[in-house]
Amino acid sequence: MSTFVGLNNARLALAAQLHSMAVAGQNIANANTAGYSRQVAHHAAVALPGVGRAGNDAAASAGVRIAAIRRQYDAYLDARLRDLTADKHGIAAQYNVLTRLEELLREPGEATLGTALDDLWTAFAQLTTSPGSISSRQNVLHKAQNVVDSFRETATEMAALRTEVGERAAFSVQQVNALVQSLAEMNRSLACAAATGSGATAPNALLDERDALVRELAQFVQVHVAEQAHGAVKLTVGGRTLLEGDAAQQLKLAKDADGKLVLDLNAAAIADDLVGGALGGELQAHNRDLPQYQQQLDDFALNVITQINGLHSVGYDAQGNPGGDFFIGTSAGDIELAAGIKDQPDKLAMSASADGRDGVVAQQLADLQKKAWGDAPLLTTQYAALITDLGSQVASLHVSRDANQALVDFAAARVNAVSGVNIDEELIDMVRYQQAYAAAARVLTSMDEALDVLINRTGLAGR
């Protein structure tokens, strides 16, 4: 091997080990940087040009080079973490909405719709003992108005909650569109870096930034990621392309004739259960969960109106006149005391006889707490079913949320085990590269001394 080849060999070794130490130092510097992936310098031998075709130098090489500086990255683990993150935020969004609904109903507790109804049954029962008492009749009207107010307030608050969830969904759509636009710009940057760089490997810093943006996007939607040339990504949601190259599509949110939110991508609707992430959870809460409980409340209100009106209409008031409607309306949002009895306690038809002196109808109304009128559902059972259904769904989501959080933590730990920086490992690498650098320096010194002997201390005879 040529002496000058040996010098070049040592020079390249010094450069490679120094560069490797710089990579280890970069890892140490970013040990606490969120989203940073550990980088590793990969060494490769440099073959002498033309060597190995003939001659004795077939195994000779001309030193070492840095073949690539690659990120420690596992695409499968990262995709798994994204999917679990989307599930986590979807469940959490749905859970938060239904928890708010539970707080709104305040059951069990005081000053609730349930207690207002119990007070009304009690007022009817008290009226049975003194059907002609004006104060007892006024108490019935007062408790009935409390029931009306409770129904209407609950309906209003549920509608306001649904409106708020819709606004949150609109904000999530804005966040998704902004992130997709950022990723489109990232795809352009990666393409430019590949075109102007020294190789086909994308810059690691840009890839880390790209992955951080995709992970943030996964909080809002269940996104499928396909990596393309030079580190660019293609994104799809619900089977529809959201981003390809630098062409970013925009999600749009609209309402249909039923008041449900529809997520539109490229003039096609995406089903709520395919959206995923926080946006998917908000859409399911807005379009499915809240309308379900609103409908249950309306059905319950209509049942209360129907059963009380059915009994009150066959009774007689204090003057012996036939009774009419007690409530008007068909839902929790429009229930109201009938004009014929409002502020007119003597118009309450609490008697089964025309003399208006017995309290038979009042007793029948009080008994609605324990038995239904005709074939209608039992009122207390119907309301309990609403509260039980909601409580069961919230409890189920709570369990799913905690279980999913554990899976996310485990997946994040696995990703960190692959991509995270371990200070002890980096220090070991620093020592290894430092020793290799010192050895290469010693080789260079030895070569220099040999050349000094060859040039300055030989060939003296014959001068």
| 269 phi-psi bin (left φ>0, alpha ψ -120 to 50, beta other) | beta
pLDDT at 336: 95
Which tokens belong to 184? 């489109």
User: Interior CA angle at 340 toward 338 and 346, to 5°?
Assistant: 120
Which DSSP symbol is given to 367?
G
CA distances, 365 to each of 119, 121, 336 (Å): 12, 7, 18
Percentage of the chain beyond pLDDT 70 is 93
Average pLDDT estimate for 59-86: 87
Mean pLDDT score, 203-217? 92
Q: How far apart are CA 38 and CA 16, in angstroms?
A: 18
**Mean pLDDT computed over 222-248:** 91
Cβ(348)–Cβ(359) under 8 Å?
A: no
pLDDT value at 185 more than 60: yes
Would you tell me the crossing angle of helices 75-105 and 290-312 to the nearest 10 degrees? 20
DSSP state of 376: S
Domain ranges of the chain: 3-72+420-456, 80-410
Rounded to 5 degrees, what angle do the CA atoms 300, 306, 309 make? Answer: 135
Query: Residue type for 212, please?
Result: A
Q: What is the DSSP letter of 285?
A: I
Three-state helix/strand/coil letters over 188-247: HHHHHHHHHCCCCCCCHHHHHHHHHHHHHHHCCCCEEEEECHHHCEEEEECCEEEEECCE
3-state secondary structure of 322: strand
Q: How confident is the model at residue 396 (pLDDT cuts 50, 70, 90)?
A: very high
Spatial separation of the C-alpha atoms in residues 54 and 74, rounded to whole Å: 43
| pLDDT at residue 62, rounded to an integer | 72
Mode of pairing for the β-strands spanning 261-265 and 61-71: unpaired
Report long-range pairs for 318-325 (Cβ below 8 Å, ≥24 apart): 318/131, 318/132, 318/137, 318/346, 318/347, 318/348, 318/351, 318/356, 319/346, 319/356, 320/354, 320/355, 320/356, 321/347, 321/349, 322/349, 323/348, 323/349, 323/361, 324/349
Query: Does residue 96 carry a pLDDT above 90?
Result: yes
Q: What is the mean pLDDT of residues 257-280?
A: 91
Pick the more confident residue, 114 or 458.
114
Q: What is the pLDDT of residue 200?
A: 44
What average pLDDT does range 60-67 have in this prediction?
79
The one-character DSSP state at 289 is I
Residue 347 has pLDDT above 70, yes or no: yes
What are 455's two structure tokens?
A: 């040039």
SS3 of residue 440 by DSSP: helix
Highest mean pLDDT among 51-65, 95-109, 211-225, 346-360: 211-225
Is it the case that residue 48 has pLDDT exceeding 70?
no
pLDDT band at 181 (very low <50, low <70, confident <90, very high): very high
Half-sphere exposure of 382 (CA within 13 A, CB side): 22
Q: Which amino acid type is present at position 412?
A: A
Q: What pairing do the DSSP bridges indicate for beta strands 268-270 and 233-237?
A: unpaired
The 8 Å CB, 24+ separation contacts for 115-119 are: 116/143, 116/146, 116/147, 116/149, 116/150, 117/147, 117/304, 117/369, 117/379, 117/383, 118/369, 119/143, 119/146
What percent of the chain clears pLDDT 90, i.e. is strictly above it?
A: 61
Q: Which residues are CB-contacts of 247 (< 8 A; sequence separation ≥ 6)? A: 184
- Residue that the structure tokens 């609605």 belong to: 368
Residue 199 predicted with pLDDT over 60:
no
Say if residue 459's pLDDT is above 90. no
DSSP 3-state helix, strand, coil percentages of the chain (rounded to 5)?
Answer: 60, 10, 25
pLDDT tens per residue, range 284-330: 999 999 999 999 999 999 999 999 999 999 998 888 888 899 999 99
- Give the position of tokens 């596992």: 74
- Residue 352: what are its φ and ψ, rounded to 5°? -85, -10
Its pTM stands at 0.85
Highest average pLDDT, of 2-6, 49-53, 86-90, comes from: 86-90
More confidently predicted of 421 and 453: 421
Q: Which residue has the tokens 């070492």?
A: 64
